[in-house]
């Protein structure tokens, strides 16, 4: 197993950024050099929650083990408190860095497949919003998406005017007011309708929320809203709070649910 903490200079942000890349072995204790020539791994682009960074999935879940079992590479980025936005104030291009620049960099450095059938995306909390936003820009670039307690459409939650915003710093600096993102690529409901009308093929989906989650009722409401707009997904409502224990459980279930075939996965011991 190779678990790489990569730093590179981001032209989009004009600063150094970090990315964590997992490249799985096929057999414990054997070299990655045994990989067949020309082989490219299926890849999961994994998004963290608001305020977290690119190291959190590795530190708070067993994602490295799950990647080895499935033979899937994992790329974890972090957009901190940007809300998965090229921010409205300051114009910090976090989403451009995440969704355009980072894939180019890591695919240049590592054997990661570009085939849509071998690309998957998932996220927790605010990372769920980022997952949907990235996926809906071009739904045909992914085979599946997953959301673990993170299904909100930010455009439905913002105040009409910026001066009406009461607290949450992420919303005020990243999004501003509703008019800034309503009916744009940052508006999940708008993009579902737009891409459906364009005849785009959507990836299969997996959305999970726990009944003890502080966002449970909102999550269920948005599930119903997205399904009414034509988004298709497996709906999982179970027990669990808005935390990493819940993420750990469901990222494993999501990877198993993908049923990845023909991967250079870990051999039976």
The helix or strand, by DSSP H or E, that contains position 47, with its residue range, turns out to be strand 43-47
pLDDT of residue 155: 75
The predicted model scores a pTM of 0.91
pLDDT of residue 269: 44
Asked if 74 contacts 19 with a C-beta cutoff of 8 angstroms, the reply is no
pLDDT of residue 151: 74
**Each residue of 149-173: pLDDT tens digit?**
887 777 777 767 666 555 556 677 7
pLDDT of residue 166: 55
Cβ-based neighbours of 57, under 8 Å, separated by 6 or more: 20, 46, 48, 63, 74, 76, 247, 251
Low-confidence residues in the chain, pLDDT < 50: 268-269
CA nearest neighbour of 73 among 99, 103, 42, 30 = 42
Q: Which residue has the tokens 């011991």?
A: 269
**Each residue of 93-143: pLDDT tens digit?**
999 999 999 999 999 999 999 999 999 999 999 899 999 999 999 999 999
């Amino acid at each position: 197993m190779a678990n790489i903490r990569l730093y590179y200079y981001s032209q989009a942000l004009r600063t150094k950024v970090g990315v964590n890349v997992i490249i799985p072995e096929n057999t414990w204790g054997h070299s990655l050099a045994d990989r067949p020539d020309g082989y490219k791994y299926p890849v999961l682009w994994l998004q963290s929650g608001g305020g977290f960074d690119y190291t959190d999935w590795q530190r708070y879940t067993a994602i490295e083990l799950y990647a080895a079992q499935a033979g899937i590479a994992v790329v974890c980025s972090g957009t901190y408190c940007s809300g998965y936005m090229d921010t409205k104030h300051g114009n910090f291009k976090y989403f451009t860095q995440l969704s355009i620049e980072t894939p180019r960099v890591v695919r240049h450095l590592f054997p990661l497949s570009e085939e849509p059938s071998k690309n998957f995306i998932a996220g927790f909390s605010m990372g769920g919003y980022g997952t949907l936003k990235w996926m809906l820009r071009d739904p045909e670039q992914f085979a599946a998406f997953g959301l673990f307690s993170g299904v909100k459409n930010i455009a439905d939650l913002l105040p009409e005017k910026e001066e009406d915003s009461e607290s949450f710093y992420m919303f005020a600096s990243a999004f501003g007011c509703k008019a800034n993102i309503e009916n744009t690529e940052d508006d999940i409901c708008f993009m579902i309708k737009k891409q459906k009308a364009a005849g785009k093929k959507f990836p299969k989906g997996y959305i999970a929320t726990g009944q003890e989650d502080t966002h449970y009722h909102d999550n269920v409401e948005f599930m119903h809203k997205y399904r009414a707009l034509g988004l298709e997904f497996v709906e999982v409502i179970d027990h669990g709070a808005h935390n990493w224990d819940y993420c750990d459980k469901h990222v494993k279930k999501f990877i198993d649910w993908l049923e990845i075939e023909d991967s250079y996965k870990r051999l039976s011991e």
